[in-house]
A and B are shown apart, each in its own frame.
Chain A
Amino acid sequence: MNVLVMYDRQTDTLWSQLIGEAVEGELAGTKLEYLASWMTTWSDWKTRYPDTVALEKGYSGQVDPYTGYYLSEEAGVIGEDHVDDRLARKQWIVGVSLGDEAVAYPFLALNKESIVMDTVGGTPVLVIFDKNTANSAVFDRSTSEGVLTFEIEEGLTLVDQETGSTWDGLTGEAIEGSLNGETLRRLKSTSSFWFGWKDFYPDTKVYGELVEVK
């Protein structure tokens, strides 16, 4: 299903990037630990982290060879495994997989709402999306004061209805109020094309999809 495969030089084991796990070789079955990262613009990142450094590129500007690919209808190098046309193949989604449930949150839906509160695999989640940069993060809404529900105060600053504390939506940190200093547990999420996500998670739900009530 068109996912980057890596090898380690120490053992030649093969590792799948999407699931962070060794799939073939001596270390097969080993899981890599995911660490929190954000995808955003350089200007946004250096504003948030004024002491940041940046990887030396050796050139200026952008020369991405995949520009034509992103805009095309082609899906990966070998085509897809099965058709699931709930979303267009190249539509971007934020993917969350917890317990035995996977949910795809389309960028187009997140663009309208900025924050979504949901439950995935029994965990109450908060999905936050910055429509200016496509940066996103997903957090567990459980805290020492129970499960919180959030509203946007301004931009990506949130306030919870249970304690009235103010939160930085992208870091999940309470910055004011009775929960000041507490940080929401960040959950693993992936920004992906729909075609890649649904091949790996064929039973995925799609946020915003109407489900038939029987």
Chain B
Amino acid sequence: MLIQKLGRLGILVVGAWVISACATSTPPANVTPVGGGVEYSIITLLPKDSIRSIDNPRFLDIPEADLEYDADELVIGVEFDGEARAYSIDLLSRREIVNDEVQGRPIAVTW
């Protein structure tokens, strides 16, 4: 049931530091109203690194991963130059960011 699955999905909108933004009510005609046109303030909820990023990620082959991952567990999947990696959203919900490198390319996987 899709609604059941939605109950398990993570969100893009949580964090130790929070941006609060108010869109200007009448943006000037030459300013794009999305993204960079908003004013914002940053509210600190927790000190830096209260949520620790994963910086030296280790990876498991499928048989080992099957011992940790449920079949219906949500993952973020990436594929570069033939190499595929999956990152558990359950774990990302708690750690928010994985600093990784795939095929020589430094990436941040964020939730």
Interface residues of A (CB under 8 A from B): 1-7, 14, 16-19, 21, 23-24, 32, 35-43, 45-46, 48-67, 69-71, 76-78, 81-82, 92, 97, 100, 102, 107, 111, 131, 133-134, 190-193, 195-196, 199-203
Taking A23-B40, A57-B90, A69-B14 as given, write out 17 further A-B residue pairs in contact, using a Cβ cutoff of 8 Å, ordered by the A residue number: A1-B40, A17-B12, A21-B35, A45-B86, A53-B59, A55-B58, A55-B85, A55-B91, A71-B7, A81-B20, A107-B2, A134-B2, A134-B6, A134-B9, A193-B12, A196-B11, A200-B38
CA distance A107 to B34 in the complex (A): 22
Q: In the complex, are the beta carbons of A2 and B89 less than 8 A apart?
A: no
Residues of B within 8 A of A37 (CB): 76-78, 109
Residues of B within 8 A of A107 (CB): 2, 6
Which B residue sits closest to A24, measured CB to CB?
A: B42
How would residues 62 to 88 of chain B score, 1 for a CB under 8 Å from any chain A CB and 0 otherwise? 100101111111111111100011111
Determine the interface band of chain B, counting residues with CB < 8 A from chain A: 35 or more
Q: In the complex, are the beta carbons of B5 and A52 less than 8 A apart?
A: no
User: Known: A4-B14, A23-B19. Contact between A54 and B2, CB under 8 A?
Assistant: no
Q: In the complex, are the beta carbons of B42 and A39 less than 8 A apart?
A: no
Would you mind naming 16 contact pairs between A and B with Cβ atoms under 8 Å apart? A16-B19, A23-B40, A42-B75, A52-B86, A53-B84, A54-B60, A54-B75, A54-B88, A56-B68, A60-B69, A62-B70, A78-B20, A81-B23, A111-B2, A134-B5, A203-B34
Identify which of A62, A67, A78 contacts B18 (C-beta below 8 A): A78
A197 CB, min distance to chain B CBs, angstroms: 9
CA distance A209 to B54 in the complex (A): 41
Interface residues of B (CB under 8 A from A): 2, 5-23, 32-36, 38, 40, 42-43, 45, 48, 54, 57-62, 65, 67-80, 84-91, 93-94, 96-98, 105, 107-111
Q: In the complex, are the beta carbons of A200 and B75 less than 8 A apart?
A: no
Q: In the complex, are the beta carbons of A42 and B90 less than 8 A apart?
A: no
Identify which of B15, B20, B32, B87 contacts A55 (C-beta below 8 A): B87
Identify which of A48, A57, A71 contacts B88 (C-beta below 8 A): A57
